[in-house]
Amino acid sequence: MRKFMLSLMALSCLTVSAQFGAPRQNPVVPSVVANVTEDFKPAKTNQDGKQYPMVNSQRMVRAQISAPKASFVGLDIAGKIYEMTKDENGLWTGTSEPQDEGFHYYQLNIDGASVPDPGSKYYYGASRWGSGIDVPAADEEFYTVKNVPQGSVNEVYYWSTVTEKMRHGYIYLPAEYYQNPTKKFPVLYLQHGMGENETGWSAQGKTGIIMDNLIAEGKAVPFVIFMDNGLDVRRPGEQGGFGGPRPQGGQRPQGGPGQGGPRRGFGGFNAFQDVLLKDIIPMVEKNYRVIADTEHRAMAGLSMGGMQTHSITLANPTTFAYVGMFSGGTFNTDELKDAADFKKTNKVLFMSAGGKETRMAEGDNSVGKAAENLKAIGINAHSYVSPGTAHEWQTWRRSLYQFAQLLFK
């Protein structure tokens, strides 16, 4: 378990700069100037009417900003700071190497200050609200808004008996929820990753759009999704938790899941488990027309949210019939071979990873190998590897697209 968590933390750090409070300084490299195809277009994630940042057909990102008095401006993306160049009007421009398909966090560096790019929309990730860019993908249709029956992503506050405060989450209700006022629906509880929050799955993840499209095509049954913050859970009087400060060595979970007692630090898993089981699920089942039984309840998450899913569904084996871990490691046969309750309850166990997450995508520790082993002990295990993507949102959009088609059927 320890080795597993450390490797996941390492993975996160490799791919998301400034993952924890204090940002690491990425290396400065020259802006790309050779073999650049000049067919740049404004990114879809730009603010309305803003031309920059742009992306070309090689998936290079080009940023531009006016900073007449600056001595250095850099485009900070995917672990490198591309040094931008200034024209006679004080306009700085720079171009990155090709990026993977899909969504990436990035920022500008102006004379040592790391700031959002005024051209982009802003997203919460890497422990800050900041710039994001969507690089066109061959399969982007599945997360593009279409003229199909529309559900909605709803911002809700609710009282938490665990934290003794109002908390904030989002609930996706499918179109049929509004059209058919007597029907009840199954529910998926869906969690974000380290350094992200409850906005990630709808904004970067495009959850509502993916679901509306899947349901319209008849590929998924309509279900409700609740998305909460798995990092900001602090019991009354508790300090810190997980929003800002860098976790210290040794702040990993102590003991196995579900052993009770307060566990702080990495994931605040125990406190979040309490919020999920004592606050969120009862609130959703009271306020919304959902089917309040195990067979119609799923949990999934990405990265740290996948680890929370792992821990919480193992500790509460009869609560969720469907389980998904996206870039969050694997279940192994030792954990499950004697877990009678889990095996009896579980209908689908789904594990996925990005193709560039090689430890999880290939070989003996892969999601594919894990699924094979789990099938051998009677688990309905599924695996998925997202082609050409890393520990980023394109992997998780695709994972949701795959997982949703397996649920509640």
Q: Using CB under 8 A as the criterion, which residues of the chain lie in contact with a second copy when the complex forms?
A: 21, 47-50, 65-73, 90, 108, 110-116, 118, 121-122, 127-130, 145-147, 150, 152-159, 166, 171, 173, 178-179, 181-182, 197, 202, 208-209, 232, 243-245, 287-289
Closest by CA position to 316, among listed 365, 367, 259: 259
Q: Would you say 86 or 375 has its CB closer to a second copy?
A: 86
**In the complex, what is the shortest distance from the CB of residue 111 to a second copy, in angstroms, rounded to a whole number?**
4
Nearest approach in angstroms of CB 188 to a second copy is 18
- Residue pair 380/347 in contact (Cβ under 8 Å)? The answer is yes
Work out how close the CB of 47 gets to a second copy at its nearest, in angstroms, rounded to a whole number: 5
- Least gap, CB of 180 to a second copy (angstroms): 10
CB of 116 to a second copy, least distance (A): 5
| CA neighbor of 204 nearest in space, from 227, 176, 230 | 227
Do residues 307 and 280 lie in contact, with contact meaning Cβ atoms separated by under 8 Å?
no
82: β partners: 29, 75
158 Cβ contact partners less than 8 Å away, ≥ 6 residues apart: 166, 167, 169, 279, 280, 283
Element (H, E) at 331: none
Q: Are 53 and 117 in contact (CB under 8 A)?
A: yes
CA atoms 337, 342, 345, 349: torsion sign: negative
Give the separation between CA 194 and CA 9, rounded to whole angstroms.
9
Q: Which is nearer to a second copy, 158 or 223 (CB)?
A: 158
Q: In angstroms, what is the minimal distance from the CB of 193 to a second copy?
A: 15
**Whole-number Å distance between alpha carbons of 206 and 322:** 21
3-state SS class at 250: coil
Compare residues 26 and 383 and give the one whose CB is closer to a second copy: 26
Using CA atoms, how far residue 51 sits from 42, 122, 134, in Å, is 5, 16, 14
Q: How far is the CB of 28 from a second copy (least distance, A)?
A: 12
